[in-house]
Structure 1
Amino acid sequence: MENLSIKLTNIRHSFGAKELFSLDSLTVYQGDRIGIVGPNGQGKSTLLKIIQGELKPDTGRVQRAGEFNFFRQSAEVAEINLATIDWELMGRFFVPKNQVDTLSGGEATKFRLAQVLSSYEAGLLLDEPTTHLDQASIQTLIEELRYYYGTLLFVSHDRYFLNQLATKIWEIEAGKITEYSGNYDDFRQQKELENLENERAAEQFMKEKGRLESAIAKKKAQAEQNKKISLKKKQQNIRPDRLSSSKQKETVQKNLQKSAKAMESRLSQLEEKKGSQAERTLIFPPSKTLELHNKFPIRGDAFHLKKGEKVLFDRCDFQFGLGKRIAITGKNGAGKSSLLQSILNNEEGIVLSPKVVFSTYYQMSYKISGEQTILTYLMEQTEYKEPLIRSILHNLGFSQLEMTKPISGLSGGEATRIQIALLFTRPSNVLILDEPTNFIDLKTLEALETLIGAYPGTVIFTSHDRYFVEKNADEIYEIKDFRLQLS
């Protein structure tokens, strides 16, 4: 018999005027490994805090068997009791023995993970544990968690991480939490089946609605015709032997009207079914001014780069092909972002085609302000026609109504999606994306992949997200031994 680890009963919780959760009952059993997904701003981190007891829900009861360790998405790195740390794990994470205030973002994340994992409790809560981690560190974390036999709940947008560890998926959206069995790929298959069923239900609804509306119109037309005939007969001299025939026609008319009202009642009781919105096909118009003919528009010729006393690249040669999707991978601190910056600045050792026009993406690198609508804001910064801009916004999850929303009222997640939209609305022939998968939810991530697939130019990106890299890259380069090595 399974032992209960967590039980949530009648949980209701709001943030301001927005209701985050409304759930009757949710249970977790010992040994469950639950990946929590959903759009940004839906309350994933809040849910972990409620389970941990750091936050009290507006209503409801939280039951938890035993203590839980908690890795927070963002927290200060604190000095530790050296006797309690697992130094072997610190070594496998390659955390340097520096002062904590000198650690990089990735090193700080690994340091905090090692702290949390150094002591064993019956439960473990992880909030975005792979943020800032390179692929090697993510794999180390996966291997460490494989041997954790307690209850594991974790929030993540990393699909590879979810696939490797989750045996259940909780999807949080629109105040509801839905449980799916299996890992992320299993979850996607179940969602696709749900969407297919919804499409069929929506199609059946439209057919039944059309059938009833047609039948109602026909019955009303028959009743109206019968009424005209009856009125005409009344205006004539009706012989006694024809009186019964007139009354029969009035009865038929009433029956037709009654039948029409019955069908109208049935129509009003039909439960409307809506299918999922299909993505609009994106076709970026060709531009003579942006057309490149150089087979390798970006090259490295004995490229050498130092940061302080640290050599990142030493006489490195490379060439990035026209129209290719190129991923740059490597350990934290290997020089991925520095390489992209050197390309953008056309520094010594970088050879660019004269007609290269860049469009760049840096996570939350600016603030949006102003009172113009989202659509107007983007139209002011592009040469493309409005239908294409609407298609880009649609693919990023903006409804027609939301496109008229003022940019001053955007949430953080919406601002991120606008930043991605800007990347594609500014005419260019080379995209540069530095860690685009950090902090964006899975729906936005999938929308970004659709846009990259439709983009006609060259794309160069860095990412620690293995799933994203493998799905989108034609060529994968790893920074190793001060060179770019093709994987």
Structure 2
Amino acid sequence: MEKLTVKLTNIQQNFGAKEILNIEELSVYENDRIGIIGGNGQGKSTLLKIIHGDLIPEGEVQRETEFNYYPQIAELDELFNIDSLDWELVSQFAIPKNNVQTLSGGEESKFRLAQLLSVYQMGLLLDEPTTHLDQESIKKLVEELRYYYGTLLFVSHDRYFLNQLANKIWEVQDGKVVEYEGNYDSYKQQKELEYIENERATENYLQEKKRLETAITKKKEQAEKASKVSNKKKQQNIRPDRLASSKQKDTVQKNMQKTAKSMEARLSKLQEVTPNEKQQEIAFPSPKSVEIHNKFPIRGENLHLVAGNKILLDKVDFQFSLGKKIAIVGENGIGKSTLLDYIVNNNEGIILSPKVVFSVYRQMDYKLFGDETILSFLMKHTEYPESLVRSILNNLNFAQFEVSKPLSGLSGGEATRLSIALLFARPSNVLVLDEPTNFIDLKTTEALEKLIAGYEGTVLLTSHDPYFVEKVADEVYEFKEQQLRMISKEEI
């Protein structure tokens, strides 16, 4: 029999007037490996804090084991678990043994993970553990967790990480948690089946509703007609032998009315089905202002790229083709972001077509203030028609009523989605995206993939997400050992 480790019963967690979680019952068992997914702000981190005991909600939390906890954001304490620190794991994560104040974001994350994993507990809670990690470090973390025997719950937007480790998926949405068996790919298959079944149920509901409404209208018309005939006969001098006929018509009329009322009752009890949300198709026009015909709009010739005293690229040549989606991959701190900035700034060794127009995405690199609406803000930065701008917002999961929301009222997740919308709303022929999947949820990542697929210009991006690269990239370049070389997707 499975051993219970955590049980949540009648959980309610509110922040002010906003309900975050409302869970009737949820159980976790020994050796469960549960990946927790959902949109930004849906309550995933809150759920982990409740399980760990950092938040005390209404309801009952039954804990049968102790949990180690890795919060998404925390100050690095270099003395935490220092006596138990697994230095072999520190070495495997390639964490430099210098002052912790000099560690990069990725190195700091790896050091915090090493500290946590150096002390064993039967329960482990991880909140976005792959954030800032390069692909090699993610693979090492996956291998380390494969040998973890206990209960593992983790929040993640990384599809590779979810597929490698999860045997269950918890989807957190609108305060509820729905459990799916299997990893992320299995979850997606189940969601697609749900979508198909809901399409069928919606079609059946609409057909039955239309059939009943038509039948009710017809019966009422027949009853009305029978009533007029009956009243007309009553006003005439009716012979005794025709009186029975008139009464019979009254009975027919009453039966028709009764049938109509019966069908109305069935119509009122008909289970309404909420139709699937339909995304508007994106078809980017090609404004004359950004037309470009150069076969290789971006080239590097004998490029020597330096950051401080560190040589990043040494005498490198490359040419990026017009209209290609190009991913640049490599370890943390190797210089990918520096190269993108170098290209955008058209520095020495970079040769750009005179007609290149960049649109650049950097994670939350501007603040949004004021009462201007989302739609009016985007319309000020675009040559595209309003219908296309609305389609972009629709694909990024902004409801029609939300486009009138003021900028000052946006959440962090909404502001991130708006910054992506702005990227595509600006007329351009080259998109530059530096780690665009950091901090965005899976739904937004998949929306971004669709927008990139519909964009006809050239795309340069960096990413540690192999699923994202596999989905969007035509060509992949590896940044390694001061060189930039094209590799196959299988080598990622």
Q: Aligned partner of 2:347: which letter? A: E
Q: What aligned pairs does 1:228-377 form with structure 2 within 5 A after superposition? A: 228-377=228-377
Q: Which runs of 5+ in 1 are unaligned?
A: none
Contact 2:181 2:187 in 1 (8 A): yes
- Listed one character per residue, the Cα deviations across residues 20-75 of structure 1 (whole Å, up to 9, x for unaligned) are 22112111111111000000101100100100011111x21112222111111000
Larger displacement relative to structure 2 (118-127 or 80-89): 80-89
- In 2, the alpha carbon distance for the partners of 1:68 and 1:284 equals 49
Give the superposed CA RMSD.
1.1
Tell me, in whole angstroms, the C-alpha distance in 1 between the residues paired with 2:39 and 2:156.
Answer: 11
Q: 1:121 maps to which residue?
A: 121
Deviation digits for residues 219-276 of structure 1 (CA, Å, limit 9, x no counterpart): 1111111111122222222222222211211221111112111111111111110221
Give 1:90 shift. Answer: 0.4
Aligned residues of 2:82 and 2:115 also touching (Cα < 8 A):
no
- Contact 1:413/1:440 (<8 A) preserved: yes
Conserved? CA contact 1:8–1:25, under 8 Å = yes
**TM-score after normalising by structure 2:** 0.97
Secondary structure of 1:486's match? strand
Structure 1 range deviating more: 234-243 or 331-340: 234-243
Segments of 4+ in structure 1 off by > 3 A?
none
Letter in 2 for 1:245: S
Pairwise mapping of residues 187-198 of structure 1 onto structure 2 (< 5 A)?
187-198=187-198
- Name the CA distance, whole Å, in 2 between partners of 1:380 and 1:227: 63
Between the aligned partners of 1:434 and 1:393, the Cα distance in structure 2 is 21
CA distance in 2, matches of 1:416, 1:227: 64
Per the normalisation by structure 1, the TM-score is 0.98
Partner residue, 1:70:
69
Tell me how far apart the structure 2 counterparts of residues 240 and 101 of structure 1 sit (CA, whole Å).
Answer: 109
Rounded Cα–Cα distance in structure 1 between residues aligned with 2:130 and 2:365: 21
Task: Give the match for residue 110 of structure 1.
Answer: 110
Residues of 1 paired with 2:468 and 2:199: CA distance? 28
Task: Tell me how far 1:408 sits from its aligned partner.
Answer: 2.1
Deviations 1:133-189 (A, max 9, x none): 001111110111011111100000000010011111000001110111111000000
**Equivalent residue for 2:82?**
82
Partner amino acid, structure 1, of 2:479: I
Task: Decide whether the 8 Å contact of 1:13 with 1:21 is kept in 2.
Answer: yes
Q: Matched residues in 2 for 1:381 and 1:93: separation?
A: 43
1:432 — aligned with what?
432
* Partner Cα separation in structure 2 for residue 420 and residue 141 of structure 1: 30
1:282 is aligned with what amino acid?
Answer: I
**Alpha-carbon contact 1:328-1:462 (below 8 Å) kept:** yes
Q: CA-to-partner distance for each residue in 1:83-102, whole Å, 9 max, x for gaps?
A: 21110000011111122222
Question: What is the aligned-residue identity percentage?
Answer: 66
Q: Matches of residues 43-192 of structure 1 in structure 2 within 5 Å?
A: 43-57=43-57, 59-80=58-79, 82-192=82-192
Question: C-alpha separation between the residues in 2 aligned to 1:29 and 1:82?
Answer: 31
Q: Is the 8 A contact 2:337 2:462 kept in 1?
A: yes
Distance 1:146 1:94 in 2: 19
Counterpart AA for 2:222:
Q
- Residue 485 (structure 2) pairs with residue 485 (structure 1): yes
C-alpha distance in 2, partners of 1:477/1:168? 34
Tell me the amino acid that sits aligned with residue 212 of structure 1: L
Contact kept in structure 2, 1:326 and 1:476, CA below 8 Å: yes
- Checking the alignment, whether the CA contact within 8 Å between 1:78 and 1:100 is kept in structure 2 is no
The one-letter amino acid of 2:215's match is A
